[in-house]
Amino acid sequence: MVANRGEIAIRVFRACTELGIRTVAVYSEQDTGQMHRQKADEAYLIGKGLPPVAAYLDIPDIIKVAKENDVDAIHPGYGFLSERSDFAQACVDAGVRFIGPSPDVVRKMGDKVEARSIAICAGVPVVPGTDGPITCLSEAQEFSNTYGFPIIFKAAYGGGGRGMRVVKEYEELEENYQRAYSEALAAFGNGALFVEKFIERPRHIEVQILGDKYGNVIHLYERDCSIQRRHQKVVEIAPAVQLDPHLRDRLTADSVNLARQVGYENAGTVEFLVDKHGRHYFIEVNSRLQVEHTVTEQVTDVDLVHAQLRVCEGRSLPELGLKQDKIRINGFAIQCRVTTEDPARGFQPDTGRLEVFRSGEGMGIRLDSASAFQGAIISPHYDSLLVKVIASGKDLPAAAAKMNRALAEFRVRGVKVGSFIMAHCAALLKGMQQGNAPTSYDCPTPPHTYLSCISFCKPPPT
């Protein structure tokens, strides 16, 4: 069973089918006509009478459906319950395998404060921050008095940019504290926040890890996720461009050491910030499959979902041919997220029926989607992601050229997909085609300032 919806559910179903495993979908009342329901061998309604998102957070109902239909294992996808230790524990208690780390590791990694403490114990550098979740505004004021501005509020029990607010001066502190708390509470059911010193214009580099039940841990190199909007990733690249080899070695070694410190099993991602001086700082561990896992698959030729399933079955990484000295990077891959958002309205999600949909395809292009077809209904209830476009090439300029061409081929009518986003990608990809690497980037609004924030670090002279 995949306790999720949309493109990630379909991604897992396809992997299961390739391995001869029967699949089970769950869906909310609002998702009756969604494609992920059609792609599974069986499908069952959950959360009857509940709001759209709450249906996918209804642990008792999901477990009930799993037990009634002899489900052997549950894949949580990303978002929803994927980093909830109580869900992982509920699966174990029901005799159903959870495709991910143990409940205890999910709990430790899901608590950003505890994960930070574990990183310190493993000798991994961290950004200055509070030792635990703060309980009131005065604690944030005390932290800012000690470390100065800018600072950043982060949700203690979730990610994806929700519950995250940057504060640049004292006058903004109270308003951003309240907003971050409300966002975290709405998204994760817990408004707990912690505070960190905000590193300005860093690179956001994350390392893909994979562990098994026997203590083996490997990395599959890194991804550069520096191009973001509202702290949410928009474009991801593997491997990171112009990354110092010594820094790469430190990032991957720290990631593997941290995973071994907690006995990590299955797939996960260790995230870092890299400042302008080349110093790296641990941010968090995402104890699940990432949206951007695709670019790692493209450059390493490792099917991460296959690996997740086999590890859950009890296979060791060496049995699967996954040894560190066998993992090689071949070329570059870029992922762009095409979303149903309207730039003219501050990138608010748009909804409706897709009257026309023609995608960019061809050699070197991979499309992961669930609702990207003519006649599809774009719901207001869930994430605005329409399709993930992944371009692969022998080097970054080749991958960028393919991405630029593919995005230019898209034709979407009926909902807004942000022609401005396409313009932004064209400018960004043109820079990549010239051999430049993007540095830190967070797209602001209003749209007329969108392109002005793209910056590149020039390649070293050859």
User: Are residues 155 and 48 part of one domain?
Assistant: no
Tokens representing residue 249 in the block: 């070695």
Rounded distance, CA 44 to CA 245, Å? 49
Backbone angles phi, psi at 390, to 5 degrees: -120, 125
Same domain, 179 and 264: no
Tokens of 124: 């991994």
Domain ends where: 197, 223, 244?
A: 197
Residue 16 covered by a domain: yes
Please indicate whether residue 328 is annotated as part of the active site: no
Query: What are the mean pLDDT values of the chain's consecutive 10-residue runs (462 residues total)?
Result: 98 98 97 95 97 96 98 97 97 98 96 89 92 89 92 84 89 94 86 89 96 98 92 92 96 98 97 93 95 98 98 98 98 95 85 93 96 90 92 96 95 76 58 64 38 36 36
- CATH number of the domain residue 418 falls in: 3.30.470.20
From CA 116, how far away is CA 135, in angstroms rounded? 18
Q: Is residue 440 part of a domain?
A: no
d(CA 198, CA 149): 8
Full residue range of the structural domain in which residue 304 is found:
203-434
Say if 451 falls within a structural domain: no
| Domain containing residue 54: CATH number | 3.40.50.20
- Report the pLDDT value the prediction gives residue 132, as an integer from 0 to 100: 82
Q: Does the residue 406 lie in any domain? A: yes
User: Tell me, what's the pLDDT at 461?
Assistant: 38
Contact partners, residue 154, CB within 8 Å, separation at least 6: 112, 163, 164, 180, 193, 194, 195, 196
Q: Does the residue 79 lie in any domain?
A: yes
What is the C-alpha separation between 317 and 123, in angstroms, rounded? 25
pTM comes to 0.85
266-274 and 280-286: which strand pairing? antiparallel
Whether the Cβ atoms of residue 101 and residue 264 lie closer than 8 Å to each other = yes
Domain membership flag for residue 217: yes
Task: Judge if 51 and 143 occupy the same domain.
Answer: no
**Domain end point (choices 181, 197, 213):** 197
Q: Are residues 85 and 38 in the same domain?
A: yes
**226 and 333 inside one domain:** yes
Q: Tell whether 70 and 167 lie within a shared domain.
A: no
Q: Are residues 286 and 257 in the same domain?
A: yes
Q: Which residues contact 203 (CB under 8 A, 6 or more apart)?
A: 224, 226, 240, 273, 274, 439, 440
Question: Are 16 and 309 a contacting pair, CB within 8 Å?
Answer: yes
Instruction: Point out the catalytic residue in the list 107, 288, 310, 337.
Output: 288
Domain match, 309 and 426 both: yes
The verdict on 168 and 213 lying in the same domain is no
Same-domain pairing of 298 and 426 = yes
Query: Distance of CA 291 to CAs 39, 146, 150, 250, 256, Å?
Result: 19, 36, 29, 24, 21
Q: How many domains does the chain have?
A: 3
Cβ neighbour number for residue 83 with a 10 Å cutoff: 26
In this structure, is residue 82 part of a structural domain? yes
Tell whether 309 and 326 lie within a shared domain: yes
Question: For residue 49, is it within any domain?
Answer: yes
Same domain, 46 and 168: no
pLDDT given for residue 460 in this prediction: 38
Query: What's the CATH number where 180 sits?
Result: 3.30.1490.20
